[in-house]
Amino acid sequence: MHKVQPKPLFGRFWLASLFNLTIAALFTLISFLDVLINPVADWKSGQPAPTTYRSPAMYSAVSDELLSVLDKDGSVARSERFLIKRGEMVTEADKTQLLRLLPERAHLDLRQVGGVLIFYFLALTFFNLLLRRFGRQLFIRFRAVATLYLFLILTSLASRLILSYTTLSLYALPVALAAILFSPLVSQNIGFTVHLLALAIVAPMFNFTPGMVLIPLVSGWTAVLLLKRETGPVRFIVASIAGALVGCLFLGGLNLFTPQHINFGLQPENDFLGLAGGILACGAAAVLFSFPVTLMFGAVPRSMLRKLLDLDHPVLRDLAEKAPGTFQHSLAMANMAEKVADSIGADDELVRAGAYYHDIGKMQQPEYFIENQQGENPHDKIAPESSAEKLRAHIEHGITIARGADLPGRLLDFLVEHHGSSTMEYFLDKAYQNNQKTIEPDKFQYQGRNPTSKETAILMIVDAVEAASRTLQKPNHDEIENLVRRIIFSKMLHGYLDESGLTTLDLKQIGISLIKFLQGQYHVRVEYPWQKKLAERPPLLVVPDTHAGISTVSQPARVAQPVKATTKKETAEKTEKDG
């Protein structure tokens, strides 16, 4: 048996804290890498400098003119950008100046290390809290968060190397890489947060001030705003160009306040070239790493998703052959769910794929599901508890089939979450009607996980609406609206949608879309007067309908009246009269 509802690592406080502390320690190590390798206190006069150090005045560039205070004794000129460059010969005056202006680089100070470690730990903890609130589908997946942290570590390492071994502008640091790379895989809110976290990680490496963070923040967020779910190579480049342009305009505007602090020269440390080159390099790197990162992240690349949407896929062919009723139900759900997902900006292609594959577990015992029954109902011969077990088993069977077919993990979410932890009310009620003495409600509950994304929540709602709409005796506007409202409110009241990320506005739009779709499906039109009179007549025909053992009365049926026999004489008289 598969464990359908495991508790995520980040849902366990102590494990999550230990993991965040480990990652914070790595960031701290990278931040003090230059001190660990070549502390300034160990430098020798007359030897080349092993590391580049920028002037503290440099950190007060641009908008920080209004926000920071410079060294008051004026020993370091504002125009000087570097205290020393890697490869330059160290003099005694250089070393003295470095020790005075950058005492934290003289040797490893455990108090400073501890402070930076706590800063990183709190930043990661806060990021986890935001994921828990806005990105639950990431929060429960260690693989996704670990991939994100891996690229943040690589970003911080690249930034440390640029700072220590090059003379590039600070604006050239690749802090936007993680945000540009992961924004198409997550929501924009999470993309903004990732960029802010990347800046927080890199900032302690260069004694940051607020203004130094502001410009990369603006350029990075501009790029994130242009990135969408279907982002391809061209979109990555366009977004990075837009980020570079906005960043440079912002940099130029702030330069009006502090013109002496911006370097316009055509040299490596040029600020405009550094800002534009840095974010363009992030866009180019995103193009190169997009596909492997998508796979590492656990998302479904668009090319793979389109193959899964092919109805000739082996799994879908097996489903159509072994459980044709379920296959048709899945197709109907896919059309409905895709429209709903598009109406709230969710991933419509992913929802359609989820609808195709969410019930593949029914192939194992298709006769226990009403859409595949053509004769007697096997549930009539077994106990309600056994019926519930048969229905619950299709989730386990589906997971086995999906893993055997190497379906992506994101699709497995739809198998696990489309019923969540909901109760099979019909069989629970049947057990009560059988006057059983001891009834355990847990035996009539699905053991899945409640939806953790908008896409799986949409499928849960649509699954219930599509099945219930088939029982409508008179599918007019009022009946459809009442049905949709009842199902959505029921899911909300039971808490099945609490971790899905759906807002009340989303739920309202989902309801509107479902009502419109069902009206179109049933061709709901204005009822004419003669139809109202016909509806007032008593039903002439009762048709049994077995939907999980429920009998219903059909709509009033019109029965042809018998034709009265006539004689030849009557016929001749009628003809003569008509003529």
CATH code (residue 461): 1.10.3210
Confidence of residue 566 (pLDDT cuts 50, 70, 90): very low
Q: Which long-range contacts (CB under 8 A, 24 or more apart) does 287-291 make?
A: 287/233, 287/236, 287/237, 289/181, 290/181, 290/184, 290/231, 290/233, 290/236
> Is residue 258 domain-resident?
yes
Indicate if 211 and 331 belong to the same structural domain: no
Average pLDDT, the chain: 81
pTM for the full predicted model: 0.74
- The type of residue at 388 is A
Q: Transcribe 30-55 into DSSP letters.
A: HHTHHHHHS-GGG--TTSB-SS-EE-
Do 289 and 390 have their domain in common?
no
* Cα–Cα distances in angstroms (integers) from residue 144 to residues 137, 174, 409, 525, in the given order: 9, 21, 11, 48
Tell me: do 423 and 488 sit in the same domain.
yes
Q: Which contiguous run of DSSP H or E holds residue 82? A: strand 82-84
User: Which range marks the domain in which residue 325 is found?
Assistant: 304-522
- Shared-domain flag, residues 164 and 273: yes
Distance between CA atoms of residues 375 and 385, nearest Å: 22
* Rounded Cα–Cα distance for residues 159 and 164 (Å): 9
pLDDT at 12: 72
**540 domain residue, yes or no:** no
- On whether both 244 and 360 belong to a single domain, the answer is no
Q: Do 235 and 336 fall into the same domain?
A: no
Domain final position from 522, 555, 573 = 522
In the prediction, which pLDDT does 313 show?
A: 93
If asked whether residues 341 and 460 sit together in one domain, one would say: yes
| 144-168 residue pLDDT tens | 888 999 999 999 999 999 999 988 8
Q: Is the pLDDT of residue 452 over 50?
A: yes
Q: Is the dihedral of CA 321, 325, 328, 333 positive or negative?
A: negative
Give me the pLDDT at residue 101, please: 84
The one-letter code for the residue type at 75 is: S
557, part of any domain: no
More confident residue, 538 or 444: 444
Q: Do both 386 and 487 map to the same domain?
A: yes
**Does residue 293 sit in the same domain as residue 325?**
no
**Same-domain status, 367 and 282:** no
How many C-beta atoms lie closer than 10 Å to residue 223's C-beta?
28
Concatenating the DSSP letter of every residue in 152-178 gives HHHHHHHHHHHHHH----GGGS-TTHH
Verify that 270 and 143 share a domain, yes or no. yes
Residue 133: strand, helix, or coil: helix
Q: State the average pLDDT over residues 214-218.
A: 88
> Quick one: how far is CA 519 from the chain centroid?
30
Residues 257, 313 within the same domain: no
Q: Which two structure tokens, joined as six digits, stand for 189?
A: 């809110």
Decide: residue 540, CB within 10 A, 0-12 exposed, 13-18 middle, 19+ buried.
exposed
Q: With 90 as the cut, is the pLDDT of residue 433 above it?
A: no
Show which of 263, 297, 331 is a domain's final residue: 297
